[in-house]
Amino acid sequence: QGKALNQKVKQVINQKTKVKLHTSLDSSKLNQVNVYFNFLNYALLAGGVYCMTMILASLNQEGVRKRTIMSSFSYRKYNWIVFASLGLASFIVWLAYMIISFILFKEIMLSGNGIAYILNSFVFSICSLAVGFLIGTITHNKQAIGGIVNVVALGTSFLCGCFVPFEYMPDYVLKIAHILPTYYYVANNQLIKTMEVFNFESIKPLLINGAVIVISSFIFVAVTNYVSKRKQIIN
């Protein structure tokens, strides 16, 4: 009985089974698109935010700032006008990167995955705008701005999986990354890369992560308003 059982086990082990994976996704292309959009975090923060903060530094020069303070504009109204103007500049920067993505990955960008990547990056571009507005309000020193932007852009990119995939990062680093909006942006990119069906259940995690990014943007704007108000009172 023992020998017969061993023989049957060997027969089962020696059997070859063919496994076919049916997927409509072009994994190779999607990996390239994913790397591009992950790197976009650094591009939007290092490039877009740097431009915005430099504009803010010019607006906050002593002569310009004093004329603004003496005007009838409230700090909230002034901030929202400046924020809207910078939003246009941020949109132009984001649009330029989207045009490049269409040139490089036209087929993917016209698919459901591509549209999801576009929407996710657009939401994050709003957050990067809020970050730039905050940095530009905190300091008007053009030399200091460059250093701060580099620290923010590189720091978030390394901590949140833009350069190194999540699976290769220590758990304690990922726990720290959870407090940063970039983490949720990259997490969405990772989800989009593997999605074949787009319905409410499948996009629900994307919506939750996107909501975190939007809430973070509102927090940055609120802090900016507070800092701006305190500076006007001091001055």
- Note the pLDDT tens digit of each residue in 42-62: 988 888 788 878 877 777 776
**Alpha carbon 168 to its chain's center:** 20
Say what the alpha-carbon torsion angle 131, 137, 141, 147 is, to the nearest 10 degrees. Answer: -20
Please tell me the distance from the alpha carbon of residue 135 to that of residue 220, in angstroms, as a whole number: 10
Q: What is the mean pLDDT of residues 163-186?
A: 90
Q: What is the pTM of this model?
A: 0.80
Task: Using pLDDT thresholds of 50, 70 and 90, give the confidence band for residue 5.
Answer: low
Say if residue 143 is exposed, middle or buried (CB neighbours under 10 Å; 0-12, 13-18, 19+).
Answer: exposed
Residue closest to 181 by CA, chosen among 151, 136, 228, 220: 220
Answer yes or no: is pLDDT of 13 > 80: no
pLDDT score for 47: 80
Q: What is the mean pLDDT of residues 107-131?
A: 92
